Amino acid sequence: MKKVAIELTNVSRKFISPEGKVTLALKDFSLTVNEGDFCAIVGPTGCGKSTTLGMITGLNPPSSGSVKVFGKPVVGIDPNIGFVFQADAVFPWKNVIDNVSIGPIFRGKDPKTAREMAGEWVRRVGLSGFEYHFPHQLSGGMRKRVALAQTFINEPKILLMDEPFSALDVQTRALMQDELLGLWSEKKASVVFVTHDIEEAIALGDRVVVLSKGPGMVKSSYEIPLTRPRDVSEARYSSEFIHLSKQIWSDLKDEVQI
């Protein structure tokens, strides 16, 4: 039986503006993610998807309820957690190999060892030959490969992803989704993947959680029966995929209609 990696129980989160206005982002929200599971979260803008990730990292403590990681309350930043953002979190003044090696260096590895590790990860994400290129010399998809290498090199036990591929074109997005699944299948980190894209959620996840409009609550949850290893492009044409997409959209459309 799998152990619980992430557990949010009856969580609510309030934000107060400088003018004193109170906004309730999440209300009585509960979520459990087991070790090695890939959980995708979809929902309308402003439903608290990114807030959920912030609470797991410890950056946004809940106003009420509890957040636990591996059975312990979240206090501060956990080094076992990796985060891939929508925007590229790369240093523009550093080349690829230096960007990838910076994480291990901050965690105490000597620079030579860190660069050797970075060289291996640069190869694994398909960027051999681009080690000494700078971010402005790379395409959007290549920068995302750098971001994946930056994250996976630290071998996180939990991987949080906030719409990491939303800015990419359709073809590049599909390639990066396959790349992500390939890397994840090797290490089996527990993943929480936030997206607006229903098809992306189904293609990647073991489970898709649908949130209501803000304040966000769990509206529904779907187990994804698609087999692994999974080819993202081919999976989209299966009858199971199409049926799930229709079901999830049925749940979601009432939340996004004005």
CATH number at residue 59: 3.40.50.300
Tokens 């309308």: give the residue: 44
The range of the structural domain enclosing residue 143 comes to 91-155
- Do 173 and 150 lie in one domain? The reply is no
35-44, 84-93, 209-218, 226-235: which is most confident? 35-44
Which of 127, 155, 183 lies at the terminal end of a domain, its last residue?
155
- Do 96 and 119 lie in one domain? The reply is yes
CB 124 within 8 A of CB 149: yes
- Do 182 and 215 lie in one domain? The reply is yes
Which of 119, 139, 155 lies at the terminal end of a domain, its last residue?
155
Q: What is the mean pLDDT of residues 203-227?
A: 91
**Tens of pLDDT, residues 75-110:** 877 888 998 888 777 889 999 999 999 989 988 889
Q: How many CA atoms lie within 13 A of 10 on its CB side?
A: 2
Looking at residue 119, its pLDDT comes to: 92
**Is 98 a domain residue?**
yes
Q: Which residues, 6 or more positions from 99, have their beta carbon under 8 angstroms from its beta carbon? A: 90, 91, 135, 146, 150
- Do 163 and 235 lie in one domain? The reply is yes
Q: Which pTM was predicted?
A: 0.90
- Do 111 and 59 lie in one domain? The reply is no
- Do 258 and 227 lie in one domain? The reply is yes
- For residues 214 and 62, the model is more confident at 62
Looking at residue 78, its pLDDT comes to: 81
**Is 13 a domain residue?**
no
- Do 161 and 140 lie in one domain? The reply is no
Whether 258 shows a pLDDT value over 60: the answer reads: no
Mean pLDDT, rounded, of the chain? 89
Looking at residue 122, its pLDDT comes to: 92
**Is 186 a domain residue?**
yes
Whether 26 shows a pLDDT value over 60: the answer reads: yes
Q: What is the mean pLDDT of residues 222-241?
A: 90
- Do 127 and 222 lie in one domain? The reply is no
- Do 47 and 165 lie in one domain? The reply is yes
Number of structural domains in the chain: 2
The rounded distance, in Å, linking the Cα atoms of 149 and 183 is 9
Looking at residue 131, its pLDDT comes to: 93
Q: What is the mean pLDDT of residues 118-130?
A: 91
Tokens 């990066």: give the residue: 176
Residue 129 pLDDT class (50, 70, 90 cuts): very high
20-29, 84-93, 180-189, 201-210: which is most confident? 201-210
- What 101-107 contacts at long range (C-beta under 8 Å, 24+ apart), as own/partner pairs, is 101/153, 102/150, 103/150, 103/151, 103/153, 103/154, 104/153, 104/154, 107/79, 107/154
Which of 138, 155, 172 lies at the terminal end of a domain, its last residue?
155
- Do 203 and 235 lie in one domain? The reply is yes
